[in-house]
Amino acid sequence: MPGTDAHLRIINRANGDVGISPERAPDERELDRFVAHWASGGFPVGANGLPLPVPTGGVGLREVFAGGAEILVTEVRIVIVLVKGDSAFGKVYDERGTVVVVDLPYRSLTSVEVEREKGLFGRIKKKGVGLFTNRPLGRVAVNPMARLDANAGNPVLADDNEFADAIVRAAASYRLTATLMEKQERQRLERVRDGARVLDGLSVVAELENDGKPEGGAGQ
């Protein structure tokens, strides 16, 4: 998948099954790790239905993978490994050695959204987390299930906000390492890292690239 430079390892899962898991590169530091009920991604595809390595203008997005996933968060990128589901490349099942790997570097991540909708009796409910990229143009949707904490020994339940905030903190911190950045943009990114969000309809959005929208408060 776009930009993929992933390291993988074979593991024994909690239920005793053998699986494939994302591993950090030697020059990376692991910050967090999650498992997702569901992850799907839309990217530009060619006539053969496979993702384009170098997308051209005017190409629409098509879903190219969907299923259960494990997600590694480092200080420079997110690595999503689809462990069971379907993809443009065929069926995915990590016990048989078949996975799809998606590499999302923070330099291409433009926004992170906790997506919400009105449910029964007008109550607001969460739909998942959207990760939006511009190199290439694409969208990954994640329904997180748990955080994998080595110190806890077992997965710890994680909700949409927790997952989104972990991604935003890492991505904003990475962008703040840039040496050439105007003071106003640096201060804006610091606020985003620390919790500033905007509302887009019902969705709560962390803007990693400045699009001119007014900022919201951390409590939105």
**Structure confidence by residue, pLDDT tens digits, 168-220:** 999 999 999 988 899 999 999 999 999 999 998 889 999 999 865 555 444 33
Q: Please tell me the predicted confidence (pLDDT) of residue 154.
A: 74
Q: Please tell me the predicted confidence (pLDDT) of residue 217.
A: 43
Q: Is residue 219 part of a domain?
A: no
CB 125 within 8 A of CB 14: no
Taking the CA atoms of the chain, what radius of gyration do you get in angstroms?
17
Whole-prediction pTM: 0.86
Rounded Cα distance, 81 and 73, in Å: 12
- pLDDT, one tens digit per residue, over 120-149 is 767 777 789 999 998 778 899 999 999 987
> What domain range includes position 115?
7-207
Q: Is residue 212 part of a domain?
A: no
Q: For the residues 153-173, what does the mean pLDDT come to?
A: 92
213: DSSP letter: P
Q: Is residue 214 part of a domain?
A: no
Q: Is residue 218 part of a domain?
A: no
How many structural domains comprise the chain? 1
- pLDDT, one tens digit per residue, over 37-74 is 999 999 888 777 777 766 555 567 889 999 999 999 99
Rounded Cα distance, 59 and 43, in Å: 9
CB 117 within 8 A of CB 125: yes
Q: Is residue 14 part of a domain?
A: yes
CB 21 within 8 A of CB 44: no
Q: Is residue 34 part of a domain?
A: yes
CB 46 within 8 A of CB 52: yes
